Amino acid sequence: MSSRARNLTFKLVLLGDGRVGKTSLVLRYVNNVFSEKQETTVQASYLTKRLVIGGVPITLSIWDTAGQERFHALGPIYYRDADAALLVYDITDTDTFLRVRKWVKELQQMASKDIVMVIAANKSDLIRSKNYDIQGAESYATTIGAKLFLTSAKSGTGINDVFLDIAARLLQKKKNITTGSQPCSSCTTHPVACCWLK
């Protein structure tokens, strides 16, 4: 009998407007590459990333969706059975954050009620010379049960943290469902090192 933990696979969908850096963000995470001339995603692309959290092997099946309005109607195909959604906006473009709210409403109507949501304020490398207020975004993230991360696909800042948080929260949710246990109070701040209470 093998003592190896079985691999868990979770579906993660990336949502957000075109040109906010969704593809660059996921390529930085999966392949550790960045291109200034990344082509716009048409429909969707699919990548996987394997990682281990607390001895448990996890595979993230990552769906990078097109953000252009003409592909918006295809969104439900990709997130209907998603375990998690990473909502990405361009921190230098307020309109892209406002549209994150529309994606969230759609997720709340069509996706699983317990979908894990995380918001990435991408292109944070561009905010050095300006003072951007992210308190509104942090407040909004809290109201929908999400976390907000400052990310930069260009520099790599925050990228691993976002995906690690998503994977840890998905593992936490899976343990909660299978064992009937509840996460301890430190789970919200340190989900990777969380203990479980019966």
Helix axes 22-31, 159-179, angle to 10 degrees: 80
CA distances (Å), origin 125, targets 64, 96, 128: 22, 17, 7
The fraction of the chain above a pLDDT of 70, given in percent, is 74
Place of tokens 């907000």: 148
> Which of 31-35, 85-89, 109-113, 178-182 has the lowest average pLDDT?
178-182
pLDDT at 183 over 60: no
Domains of the chain: 8-197 (3.40.50.300)
pTM (two decimals): 0.82
**188, 131, 144, 22 alpha-carbon torsion, rounded to 10°:** -90
Place of tokens 């769906």: 63
pLDDT at 43 over 60: no
Q: What is the mean pLDDT of residues 149-173?
A: 96
What is the pLDDT at residue 68?
46
Give one DSSP letter per residue of 151-168, joined into a string.
--TTT-TTHHHHHHHHHH
Q: What is the mean pLDDT of residues 149-167?
A: 96
What is the pLDDT at residue 172?
93
CA distances (Å), origin 131, targets 21, 92, 126, 154: 21, 10, 10, 19
